[in-house]
Amino acid sequence: MDNIKTGNLIKELRKEKGMTQKDLADKLHITDRAVSKWERGLCAPDISLLEPLSEILEVKVTDLISGEQSAEEEKEVETKVLEAINYSEKELKKKTSIWKRRVVIISAVAGVMLLLWIANLWSPVIFQRGNPIPYLKAAMDIDENNYYVKVDVDDTNAIYISLREGGKCEALFHDVAYSKGFEFLEQAGSGYIFSDGKNRLVISSEIYMGKFIVWKVPTHTFAE
């Protein structure tokens, strides 16, 4: 397609029909700037616009492509050109649809793989104590006024959570042990042993998600 010849033909036929560039553009649902570019030979009409453009200007599609009005009726050629255009449009839409589906499928697979990777990497940590929601919810309430927070879980012991660094576990020890007459005896591994002279209280600890400490405080003591 010769852009200049096609543009001149479009301009000539448009003027013959008394249409402005905007009139033609409105009929094709495009901008008049696009029509202006055609007529100046800067670009050619999109293949999807050739058939409606030919109907508006009352000219054969083959004439638009060649940039000249043919004297003979070349219906067979015209039919083949229209068939080729329609086929091209259908193939383009088909390929676009397939491409979009592939992008969606690839994105979904990538998302699943990422989730599986995260789950495989972190699930032993996040779910090390079962449902993580009560622990994470309690952890959100830790601040400068609350060095530790009780975790709302169904357990025979009282469960608390504090920060691993700067969590000031002494505040917890004071409230659950010292204030009740217990004194610290020793630490055995992750357990902290307290005694009031008759009974012992063993508070166990466990590092949670690397950032927190989960404390298990028994509701009952045992005799020494």
Q: What's the pLDDT score for residue 172?
A: 93
Which H or E run contains 111?
A: helix 75-126
Phi, psi of 192 (to 5 degrees): -115, 120
Domain ranges of the chain: 3-70, 72-126, 133-223
Gap between the Cα atoms of 72 and 70, Å rounded: 6
Is residue 134 over pLDDT 80?
Answer: yes
Q: pLDDT band at 174, cuts 50/70/90?
A: very high
| pLDDT, mean of residues 169-187 | 92
Q: What is the pLDDT of residues 25-71, one digit of tens each?
A: 999 999 999 999 999 999 988 878 888 898 999 988 888 887 887 65
Q: What's the pLDDT score for residue 126?
A: 47
In terms of Cβ atoms closer than 10 Å to its own Cβ (0-12, 13-18, 19+), residue 107 is exposed
Residue predicted with more confidence, 90 or 51:
51
Note the pTM of the prediction, 2 decimals.
Answer: 0.44
Spatial CB neighbours of 194, under 8 Å, sequence gap ≥ 6: 173, 177, 182, 183, 184, 185, 200, 201, 202, 203
Q: What's the pLDDT score for residue 83?
A: 58
Q: What's the pLDDT score for residue 106?
A: 72
Comparing 88-92, 145-149, 165-169, the range with the smallest average pLDDT is 88-92
Q: What is the pLDDT of residues 101-129, one digit of tens each?
A: 666 667 766 665 665 555 554 444 444 56
Q: 3-70, superfamily in CATH?
A: lambda repressor-like DNA-binding domains (1.10.260.40)
Average model confidence (pLDDT) across the chain: 81
